[in-house]
Structure 1
Amino acid sequence: MRKVLIVGAGQAGLMLALGLQSRGYEVTVVSDRTAEEIRTGRVLSTQCMFGKALAHERDLGLNLWDDRAPRVDGLGVSVAGPDGSRPIDWVGHLDAPAQSVDQRVKMAAWLDLFTGRGGNLVVHPVSVSDLDWYAGRYDLVLLAAGKGPLAGMFDRDPARSPYDKPMRSLAVAYVEGLAPRPEHDFPAVRCNLVPGVGELFVMPALTLSGPCDIFFFEGVPGGPLDAFQGVREPEAHLELTLALMKQFVPWEYERAANGVQLADEGATLAGRYAPTVRKPVVELASGGLVLGVADVVVANDPITGQGSNNAAKCAAGYLAAIEARGTQPFDRAWMEQTFEDFWSVVAPVTKWTNAMLAPPPPHVLNLLGAAGQLQPVADRFANGFDEPADFESWFYAEEKANAYLASH
């Protein structure tokens, strides 16, 4: 029985652990927190997952919240005008529903499932020397703790990383009591673009207490939405969020003005990081190798909501590659090829995400405007969140965009 060590208990690490466990591997997960500590901690992300990523969860029988999580049937875009109006405002229909499940709920449940099935859980912060010790005792060591300091062991790939600093300041609040949206009758993620200032996403989700909504600001550094550093108290975080909504997206504030409250004491999060693609393999002092997983090696800005989707796709790809390897060694060549196969899936995600961080060129503004008049354009844009590779054929190049619009 081959022995696999996975450091990190997030979307990719636990999907991979549970998948390998179901296939007879001896799996150890190292986490810096217990399931209960995850469950009672701060929120971790916004994690809206689309059809293809959710299918990977279902393939492993890990879709434990389909009957409870609010359906997300569409994705809409509003562009704020200088007078508080919305010159662009539309909603596209998703071909397959999306969902957002608070990772405190999901990861705690998956960790309990892993240990309940006999998996070995080690609760301990991991150092580089720990990894060196583990590498001599396992057939394969995987690092899936993307936001931790160990990710810094992996060298940045400058050819695939156009940004070397954070491009947005991030602020999240899970709330209850948001009034229903009046202008459409199906649940959707709404992306509100404020030119030169940033973005506000509003999405339905499932949290510890049940259905909720998530406010997610992406602020241009140094701008008015870049205001959450130093805000420690959750209520102060919410108060600032509402004030900024009132100023920049008053149509969203109208829904929140009466009775919105935080879902719990851990319902806020703020931070920033530079979008980075890293080299996938680290060689330790002993000669042992570590393969990076998901956002350890491909950390995109969350402006396109792809982090959990990439993680699920990474887990599915790595699982297939490990199983196909049989009894052959997990050497550097295999690790690098396994990552390249993952990169072929997420390279379109990275291209699209990096494009969305830059000011939109005129032809993209034309596309966004046309989506308000042409439902097929709105629907195609929405479904690009599930299959970002589709943007290549109609979104980036002006001539392709013009030809696509002319076809309608």
Structure 2
Amino acid sequence: MVGAGQAGIVLSAALLRRGWRVTLCSDLTAEQHLESGARPTACLFGDQVDYEASLGLDLFPDAPRAGRIRLDLYTGDRLVAFSVDAPLRKPALAVDQRLKYAHGLRELAARGATVVTGSVTPGDLESLTATHELVVVTVGHKGFRGLFARDPVRSVHTSAQRSLFMVNVRDYDLDAHPRHRDIVFTFVPRVAEVFWIPFWDKDVGASRSIVVESVPGGPADRFGGVTTASEGLAVLRGLVDEMLPGQSAFLEPTRPTRETTWIRGSVVPAVREPVAVLRSGRHVLGLGDAVVLNDPIAAQGANNATRMARFFAARLDDYDGTATWLRARFDEFWEVGRYANGLSNGLMAPLTGYQQDVLIAASRHPEIGERLWEGFDDPSSLFPWFFDAAAAREFLARRGVGRWDVLRYRLGLAGKVLGHRVFRRPAPA
């Protein structure tokens, strides 16, 4: 197993349980993982949380679990047009990846895995494939650039669709802001999406991770010059005051969990060929971000890596040693895995009229909100009804929401927005 991230640790634990002998190659020791820079926030949803627990990887019992999601959709003039507030079927969990990887390495070593520390180069893969029944590369997209060829049919984008910024914060008041006990999404359509996530930070424990996804070149794309967490938090406060004033009071007293707990950058989503053939003719399997890389807007990175690990762990006992077998299994996985990509790509596109109708209806009917949030755990559950106009109308009608109801809801929102614009107080000088 080359790579000790989400896919590598979960698949290693599953294969050890099934009786495989596992060598886990990590570029960092457990101690180095703990002292490394911040990593992206990975929020696992219900079934993936349960699967980790079934493998004995539920190592952080005090970490906060989120039982609900609240979405606030803002208009361009700082007004919350509507909110969708509904429970999750099972709690979600976000743990600092530095903690997860460090504890995962130690746990797997205690279970009998051979842990090898140090960088693995593409050339090293030749010797590994000569001495192991199977080599699985789970290192992310930057680890082995060009090893797995881009699949032009399954890849939708050729450039980053969002500019990303993340910072972990402490010193907030949950009694004053109880909605932040769970996950909060705040959106300004075609400008930015901001995610406020209950988090277990390696330095302070219970905290909040705030992730900003900005449309490149847009008014929220302003983190390019940030060099510290405090600088980033100051920029974030300015953005929130300007566009999301309902969150200003929560954010104002916060400070970073540490000056290094921040990230900025971007992701070019891509799907790659799952098997790479080396010069020797031997082959390696790719999993996780190595072959399926999504923008984090739908929180599918760690969830999809866990699904892939679970899928292959249940089938590798029948592995016949050929690349053909591995490709066929990946194609089988893709029949379900493609929905995670469809969800991620779909959320980066402007909301269609029928998607707005579903969201507006969900603001009135929490059971529709529950179905929406289930999509983060099982993206296939959103298809076709959230991505097809006719299916969306049928979905709403089966829940007692007809076209006249949607029109009435829209008229009510239009009146709310108009009233805000007519009667709002002028901004202070």
Residue 317 (structure 1) shift: 1.0
What is the 5 A alignment of 1:31-50? 31-50=26-45
In structure 2, C-alpha distance between the alignment counterparts of 1:362 and 1:181, rounded to whole Å: 37
Aligned runs of 1:78-97 on 2, under 5 Å? 78-97=72-91
Cα RMSD for the two superposed structures: 1.6
8 Å CA contact 1:92–1:375 kept in 2: the answer is: yes
Does residue 165 (structure 1) correspond to residue 156 (structure 2)? The answer is no
Deviation at 1:206, TM superposition (A): 0.8
User: Is 1:202 aligned to 2:193, yes or no?
Assistant: no
Residue 247 (structure 2) pairs with residue 256 (structure 1): no
Q: Which runs of 5+ in 2 are unaligned?
A: 401-429
The equivalent position to 1:324 in structure 2, one of 318, 323, 327, is 318
Pair 267,154 (structure 1): closer, same or farther in 2 beyond 3 Å: same
Task: Report how many aligned residue pairs link the two structures.
Answer: 398
Distance 1:36 1:316 in 2: 27
Cα separation, 2, equivalents of 1:227 and 1:121? 41
Contact 1:181 1:255 in 2 (8 A): no
* Cross-structure match for 1:361: 352
Percent identity over the alignment is 32
- The one of 329, 338, 342 equivalent to 1:351 is 342
Scaled by the length of structure 2, the TM-score of the pair is: 0.89
Q: CA deviation at 1:159?
A: 0.9
| Alignment correspondent of 1:72 | 66
Amino acid of the structure 2 residue aligned with 1:388: P
User: What whole-Å deviation, never above 9, does each CA across 1:367-390 have from its counterpart, x for those lacking one?
Assistant: 111111111111111112111111
CA distance in 1, matches of 2:154, 2:324: 20
Whether 1:62 aligns to 2:57 is: yes
Q: How far does the alpha carbon of each residue in 1:142-193 deviate from its partner, in whole angstroms, 9 at most, with x for none? A: 1100132305311111111111111111111111112327676683211111
1:51 aligns with 2:33: no
Give the deviation of 1:363 after TM superposition: 0.8
Q: With a CA cutoff of 8 Å and minimum separation of 6, indicate the structure with the bigger relative contact order.
A: 1
Give how far 1:287 is off. 1.0
Report what 1:218 is aligned to: 213
Aligned pairs for 1:175-186 (under 5 A) are 175-180=169-174
Determine if the alignment matches structure 1 residue 234 to structure 2 residue 229. Answer: yes
Pick one of 277, 302, 308 that aligns with 1:314: 308
The CA deviation at 1:323 is 2.4
Say whether 1:24 aligns with 2:19: yes
**Structure 2 Cα separation of the partners of residues 143 and 181 of structure 1:** 45
Q: Which moved more, 1:78-87 or 1:224-233?
A: 224-233
Higher Cα radius of gyration: 2
| Partner secondary structure for residue 315 of structure 2 | helix
| Secondary structure of residue in 1 paired with 2:131 | coil
Alignment CA distance shift 1:361-1:181 (3 Å) = farther
In the alignment, residue 313 of structure 2 is paired with which amino acid? L
Which consecutive residues of structure 1, in runs of 5 or more, have no partner in the other structure? 1-5
Contact kept, 8 Å, 1:73 with 1:186, in 2: the verdict is: no
* Conserved 8 A contact 1:76-1:382: no
Q: 2:327 aligns to what?
A: 336
SS in 2 for 1:346: helix
Contact 1:92-1:381 at 8 Å conserved across structures: no
2:414 corresponds in structure 1 to none
How far did 1:119 drift? 2.1
The counterpart of 1:375, out of the listed 366, 369, 376, is 366
Q: Would the alpha carbon gap of residues 323 and 55 (structure 1) be closer, same or farther in structure 2, given more than 3 Å must change?
A: farther
One-letter code of the match for 1:236? E
Q: Per-residue displacement from partner, 1:40-67 (whole Å, max 9, x unpaired)?
A: 11221211111111121122111122x3
Q: Which residue of 2 aligns with 1:8?
A: 3
Q: Distance in 1 between matches of 2:147 and 2:288?
A: 15
TM-score under structure 1 length normalisation: 0.94
Determine if contact 2:141/2:291 at 8 Å carries over to the other structure: no
